[in-house]
Amino acid sequence: MIPVQGVENQTIAVLGLGRSGRATAAALTEGGAHVVTWDDGADTREQAAADGMTVLDLTREANWDGVSALITSPGIPHLYPRPHPVIAKAYELGVPVDNDIGLFFRSFATRDWESYDITPRVIAITGSNGKSTTTALIHHILREAGRPTQIGGNIGTGVLSLDPAHDGEVVVLELSSYQTDLARALTPDIAVFTNLSPDHLDRHGGPGGYFAAKRRLFAEGGPDRAVIGVDEIEGRYLADHLAMAPSDDRVIRISSGQKLERFGWSVFSRKGFLSEYRKGRQVASIDLREVKGLPGEHNHQNACAAYAATRALGLAPREIERAFHSFEGLPHRSQRVAEIDGVAWVNDSKATNVDAAAKALTAFRNIRWIAGGMGKDGGIEALQPFLDHVVKAYLIGHSARDFALQLGAVPYEIAETMDQAVARAAAEAQPGETVLLAPAAASFDQYPNFEKRGEHFTALVQALRP
C-alpha cells in the first residue's frame, strides 16, 4: 500500500466503494486521514459499515461539515453527461474533487528515495486501443531485463495498492481517460499515447473532451519523454505541441505503417519490421513477423510503443527483442486460445469498438467472424474496407440485426448467442481458417464485461477439443 501524504488529521470523503474506492479509503487512513465513505449501492454500504468504515449519506449537506476533499472512483461521472449528485454537491460547496491517480502521483515519492542509487520511475500509458497490451508488454520487457517493476492502474492492481517503490524500480501504469480527466496530479517520467478512436464520448461531451482528457497526461503531466502514436491527427497534433523542433528527441514518434525518418527520435513498423531512427539514421531493426504474442499491425504499434518507452530507460534493442519473443499476450486481446483440426480460434473480446475490430480483422486471413453485442454509434459501417478476408460472420446480441444490414456482400448468420455462434462456426470452419471473436461492440447486453464474454468464448472452444 502507498499511504497518502499530506492528509493527516483531515476528513476526506470517498465516493464509490469498489476495488479502487476501498483501496483509496485504506491508503488515506494509513496516511492519517479520517475517512468517510458513500456508495449508491445499499449492499455495498452495508458491507463497508460491517468492515468498520464510516458511512455517511453524502447527498445530505449536513454530512459535509469539516470535509476537506472528495475522492471519487473513476467510473463515476464528474462532468458529462451530468455530475453524480455527490460530486455536484462538492462543487457547490467548494470541496476539491480528486481521484486515486492524483493521490498516487502526489504520494509516490518519499524521503526514502534520498538513499536510493537509482530514482524510481513511472511510465504511464493512455490511448483508445492497445494500452493494456502496451502496459503489460513494457512490464514484461523490464522484468525479463531484470529491472524491478510493478504494474497497475487500469490493469491489475489499483495504484494505491501498489507497494512503495524500491531502489531503481519502474512502475508501469495503464491510465484510462476516466482516470486522467480528473486527477489533480499527473507527473509521469515517461508518458505513452497509443492512438485515438471514438469511445466514451457521452462521458467526455464529445471527441474533443475525450482527447482533452488524454492530453492532460502530457500537457499537464510534463513527462521527461513522451512516446506519441502519430497515425491519427490527434497524435500528430500532440507530438507537434510537445516538441520544440522536429529534432527534439524528448518526443518519440511511433507509427504502424508510416516511415518516420525526419525526426530526432522515432520508432515505426512497416511490413512486419520494427525500425528505430535517430536523427535521420536507422540504429536498430527487429523482425516482428515471428513474434507470436504480437500478431497484426495493431500489435506491431504496441510493440513500437513498448520498445520506445524501454529504450528511453536505456535498455538495449536486443534485450527488448528477446523479451518480445517470450511475451504471450493478454487474455481477450488477439489471444490464440486453440487450434483444432487446423482451425485457429482467436479471442479478441476486448475489441469493443470499430477501430479495435478493424485491427483484429487485418491481422488474420480466411476469417469466420463472431461479432455483435451492444453496438456503438454508427454500428460497423466503417468496417467495410476490412471485410475482404471474412468468409462468414456470425452475429450475436442486441445489435446483431443492425450489424447484418451493414455487412454488404459478406455472408452472415444471426446466431443470437455465443453458444450458437461457436457451434455454427465449428461446424462450418475449414482447415487454414481462423474463427475470430472481435465483437466491435460492448458486452453489456449479455455479459457484465468483455472479460466474461471472452471467458465464455474460450470455454466453448475448449469444449470442442476431442
Residues labelled catalytic: 131, 154, 200
**Rounded distance, CA 92 to CA 255, Å?**
44
Phi/psi of residue 57, nearest 5 degrees: -75, 100
**Rounded distance, CA 177 to CA 211, Å?**
8
Q: Is 236 helix (H, G, I), strand (E, B) or coil?
A: helix
Q: Which positions make up the binding site for ATP?
A: 127-133
Q: Which positions make up the binding site?
A: 127-133
What DSSP element (H or E) covers 282?
Answer: strand 281-287
Find the length of the chain. 466
Give me 102's grid cell. 492524483
**Rounded distance, CA 373 to CA 456, Å?**
14
**Which residues on neighbouring strands pair with residue 174, listed in sequence order?**
125, 153
- The amino acid at residue 57 is D
With 0-12 / 13-18 / 19 or more C-beta atoms within 10 angstroms meaning exposed / middle / buried, residue 150 is buried
CA atoms within 13 A on the CB side of 266: 27
Q: Residue 108: which of 220, 214, 31 has the closest Cα? A: 31
